[in-house]
A and B are shown apart, each in its own frame.
Chain A
Amino acid sequence: MLEIKNIVKQYSGHRALNNVSMTIPKGKIFGLLGPNGAGKTSLIRIINQITAPDSGEVLFNGEKLSGKHISQIGYLPEERGLYKKMEIGEQMLYLAQLKGMSRSDAENKIRYWFKKMEIQTWWNKKVEELSKGMQQKVQFVSTVLHNPSLLILDEPFSGFDPINAEIIKNEILELNQNGATIIFSTHRMESVEELCDSIALLNKSEKILDGTVKEIKNSYKTNSFKVEYIGDLKNINGDFTFHFKVKSDEEMDGSRTAVFDLHSYQTANELLSALISRVQIVKFEEVIPSINDIFISSVN
């Protein structure tokens, strides 16, 4: 859906994006990750046409990014807010119309979303009369109101309690199921694990990683296995017939858990058969690195 090609963005004294390229697949949820100052916001602003790159280009469905794409993009910035003294209904209408919606369409959609989020009674309230969480809810509605085919969400869950965060998450998934492509920028790695199909990792204005979540995790696998068992492997290191390296071996609530680092030529089956003859297996799984771990090890 979105092709980002060789983007360079320079501010005086500081290069925010250095030859960054990536592809955002249509209809998927794409995670844009990176530490603070990596260049995520700069890239997002370029996609939203708030700023323009010094060189490079962005293609939206094959076309060069231009004014007509504004109505197809919905943006929820990290630093967000609304006109405090304006009534919510009016304000939603205004923002929707600025995105190219007709007034009547906008009114219908607002009613639909207000009902969905159970905030029908808020139409005439001023933004300043609402709590922060409520304001965030309203802002989320304003982002999705015009039915954009591309949604850019920067830290969408910040400001929400767990219940409302769950509601928003489900809305995001539903929008995605209905065909919306989603670019999702966050520091909450557990939500990345849960929601994203592909990710890209930016650090110090460069892209250091991208691909589907599965590919990336596979590439970071260390061929390690975690086994929960009942028995005793304390003397395993003295046993010359056991060819597997024990990384750790701990007691936990009656059973023991050990992690084995295998050499590349060793297989899971071999480990399993070696263990079956020695202990009683309760649980056997491959250790797959978390995005959090990958993030930390890549950035350092």
Chain B
Amino acid sequence: MNKILLIIQREYLSRVKKKSFLLVTFGVPILIMLMYGLVFALILKGDKFEESKKIVVVDDNNYFEGKFKNTGNLNFEFSDEGLEDSKKGFLKGDADFLLYLPKFENNKPSGIQMYGEKQPGFVLIDDVEEKLEILIRDKKLIASGIDTTELNNLKTSVSIDTKKITENGEEESSSGATSFIGLLFSILIYMFIFVYGVQVMRGVTEEKTSRIIEVLISSVKPFELMMGKIIGIAMVGLTQFLLWIVVTVALGSVASNFIGGNPAEQFSKSAQTELSQGSEKIKAANSEADPAKMVMDSLSTLNFPLLLSCFLIYFIGGYLLYSALFAAIGSAIDSDSDSQQFMFPVTVPLILSIIVSSNYIIRFPDSPVSFWFSIIPFTSPIAMMTRIPFGVPVWEIILSIILLIFGFIGTVWFAAKIYRTGILMYGKKPTFKELGKWLFYKN
């Protein structure tokens, strides 16, 4: 037991002391913060960054003047002159663009032109087109006898609030937030298993190629060496994960002091203004469904204790199951480049579970497919984490965890057999058949 602790300590310290570890641990959260900071800054001060554009409009219909609202950065000025005179005046004037609306026959618009010294961006074109479409539609409706107030009453905006019925009464919930959290945790588990599982594999192969393995196994049993490595690297991953959380929270509070006030509030306010200035198609401009507030509220109603404890269990269980297999692969090969043929079958269930989770499970969390994916140990760490925020019967979670435990006991047993033979084998490129034989070699 003592020797396993020694091995865990060495595997842990040798990786945690590396410069690359510190770089990733502190660098990634800072990078992400900077990115979000940039996005925030752009949104908050968006209108200040974009120049306002002045558009001179020549309207042969003599209808649209006064109906074009000056919004955001578009200023419309209606011209008294005709098209040819306006064009001459354009180059001398300070307008950015010249919009020409020829007389429409039967309210069918055609021949609309936008002139300018520069090519207008498509957002600008989109904006103007949208405004025109709405105005012409209204014109047609009025022409067929519908009054404008009646017109406004026809517009309806629908948004559905989701609520969960639980034993504690009704609770707010949000499908969006639920899917988001479920997938976030699944992706974290997926990444962790891959990144650290591969480190286990590389560590094992390194011991083979550097030839230190012979000296090591004259001092400790192969099983102790394998488990020490797996656990040591798990601790590196957990350390990095915890540090990420600490750094992110620390940076988050620094950032909110910097920006001033509750960033979520600020964000939602300006997001609202942006959205309402745009097309009326976006319903979320409705103050009843403030998007940021919704996310915050529903996040707080997710069962976090359950979520976090399951996350830890699947995080660790999934890692143990897969890292044992990665250790076995590492022992069978002579160099990293030989790992491809063995990695493929091992990683297929992982990749499959991410694809199925993100496309299918979030839509149909209670379907048979989702059930099986969340029970089978190879896919359950990812699939079950996606399902849990939607609510999963307790017996299913328990069954899944028990099977996961059996799963990693099984893979550790299997890997140990391969490992003890593989680490002393050089030269041959083993096939799966060969590996199968190793399972039956005596101690």
List chain A positions with a Cβ less than 8 A from chain B: 12, 48-52, 54, 70, 73, 75, 77, 79-86, 94-95, 97-99, 139, 142
CB atoms of B214 and A79 under 8 A apart = yes
A52-B443, A79-B211 known, 19 other contacts, Cβ within 8 Å:
A48-B218, A50-B214, A50-B217, A52-B442, A54-B442, A70-B219, A75-B218, A77-B214, A80-B211, A82-B212, A83-B14, A83-B207, A83-B210, A86-B14, A94-B6, A98-B7, A98-B219, A98-B220, A142-B215
Distance of A103 from chain B, by nearest CB (Å) = 10
Contacts of B443 in A (CB 8 A): 52
CB atoms of A84 and B210 under 8 A apart = yes
CB atoms of A81 and B218 under 8 A apart = no
Determine which of A49, A54, A75 lies in contact with B215 in the assembled complex, contact meaning CB atoms within 8 Å.
A75
CB atoms of A83 and B211 under 8 A apart = no
Give the nearest-CB partner of A73 in chain B: B218
Determine which of A82, A94, A99 lies in contact with B10 in the assembled complex, contact meaning CB atoms within 8 Å.
A94
A191 to B110 Cα, complex, angstroms: 103
Distance of A46 from chain B, by nearest CB (Å) = 11
Determine which of A50, A94, A98, A142 lies in contact with B424 in the assembled complex, contact meaning CB atoms within 8 Å.
A50
Contacts of B212 in A (CB 8 A): 80-83
CB atoms of B218 and A97 under 8 A apart = no
Contacts of A77 in B (CB 8 A): 211, 214-215, 218
Contacts of A49 in B (CB 8 A): 218
CB atoms of B218 and A70 under 8 A apart = yes
Give 1 or 0 for each of B99-135: 1 = CB within 8 Å of chain A CB.
0000000000000000000000000000000000000
A-B contact list, 10 entries, CB within 8 Å? A48-B218, A50-B217, A50-B218, A70-B218, A70-B219, A77-B218, A81-B211, A82-B210, A85-B14, A95-B219
Contacts of A80 in B (CB 8 A): 211-212, 214-215
Contacts of A85 in B (CB 8 A): 14
Give 1 or 0 for each of B189-221: 1 = CB within 8 Å of chain A CB.
000000000000000001100111011111110
Determine which of B206, B215, B437, B442 lies in contact with A95 in the assembled complex, contact meaning CB atoms within 8 Å.
B215
Distance of B316 from chain A, by nearest CB (Å) = 26
A82 to B207 Cα, complex, angstroms: 8
Q: Is the interface of A mostly helix, strand, loop or mixed?
A: loop
Nearest 7 interchain pairs by C-beta: A81-B211, A98-B219, A48-B218, A81-B210, A77-B214, A75-B218, A79-B211
B3 adjacent to chain A (CB < 8 Å): yes
Give the nearest-CB partner of A83 in chain B: B212
Distance of B211 from chain A, by nearest CB (Å) = 3
Distance of B96 from chain A, by nearest CB (Å) = 61
A85 to B3 Cα, complex, angstroms: 21
Give the nearest-CB partner of A47 in chain B: B218
B window 419-443: CB within 8 A of A: 424, 437, 442-443
Distance of A212 from chain B, by nearest CB (Å) = 28
A82 to B209 Cα, complex, angstroms: 10
Give the nearest-CB partner of A152 in chain B: B218
A86 to B212 Cα, complex, angstroms: 12
Contacts of B211 in A (CB 8 A): 77, 79-81
Give the nearest-CB partner of A76 in chain B: B215
Contacts of A82 in B (CB 8 A): 210, 212
Contacts of B14 in A (CB 8 A): 83, 85-86
A90 to B207 Cα, complex, angstroms: 16
Contacts of B207 in A (CB 8 A): 83
B window 1-55: CB within 8 A of A: 3, 6-7, 10, 14
Distance of B326 from chain A, by nearest CB (Å) = 19
A54 to B211 Cα, complex, angstroms: 26
In this complex, the member of B3, B212, B217 whose beta carbon has the largest number of chain A beta carbons within 10 angstroms is: B212
Distance of B353 from chain A, by nearest CB (Å) = 34
A14 to B220 Cα, complex, angstroms: 27
A49 to B220 Cα, complex, angstroms: 9
Distance of A95 from chain B, by nearest CB (Å) = 7
Distance of B433 from chain A, by nearest CB (Å) = 12
Distance of A129 from chain B, by nearest CB (Å) = 14
Contacts of B218 in A (CB 8 A): 48-50, 70, 73, 75, 77
